[in-house]
Amino acid sequence: MAHSTQAPPAHGTASPRTRMGARDLALVAVFAAFIAVLTLVPAVPVGALGVPITVQTLGVALTALILGSLRGASATALYLAVGLAGVPIFAKFSGGLGSLAAPSAGYLLAFPIAALVTGALATLVLRKFRRRRLLWLFLSAMGGSILVIHPLGILGMSLNAGIPLQQAFVVDMAYWPGDLVKNFVAASIALSVFKAFPKMARRNYDA
């Protein structure tokens, strides 16, 4: 009989899982619903294009910080899919494929990718750092905003509103102060969750 040559994991360490189980899927559904519920907070239209300031981005950041990249991206992708299917869970209680033609489409499509980036950064800092976690979690959330949400949002405004990228960049600057606040709030809430439920901070999931 052949024997496995794979060494067992070291004592006290857990090998990361690569597939989501029932608990992971439940968390994905709960956080997708949480992002949708944030639609109840009134959006604030900004500028001539009317792309609103919403708290959905706070929900995306918080979801990614708590769940990690794969589960966080799955939750935001589920939220996006349900909205595009016609359920009015986007800003101003909108939904449907017509949302892809709106100036805000780039921001919406950026959500799952931003969650992937933010979640990966959060996992990294949770594994590497024990101190100043609030700062590191905040920077993780800002990473998703800077690297994904704002660039895709600018591109979406330029394409769908028919304006130059430079003008879309200027319009986008109005959303930065709110993002700083929302990402700080998301990091603060995530840190409180990790203190109350330490297992949530131990990424036994591979992302």
Task: Report the range of poorest mean pLDDT among 6-10, 24-28, 51-55, 120-124.
Answer: 6-10
Number of separate helices (H) and strands (E) present in the chain:
9, 2
Residue 15 has pLDDT above 80, yes or no: no
* C-alpha of 111 from chain center: 6
Q: What is the pLDDT of residues 63-112, one digit of tens each?
A: 999 999 999 999 999 999 999 999 999 998 999 999 999 999 999 999 99
Residue 6 has pLDDT above 60, yes or no: no
Q: What is the pLDDT of residues 167-177, one digit of tens each?
A: 999 999 999 99
What is the C-alpha to C-alpha distance for residues 53 and 50, in angstroms, rounded to an integer? 9
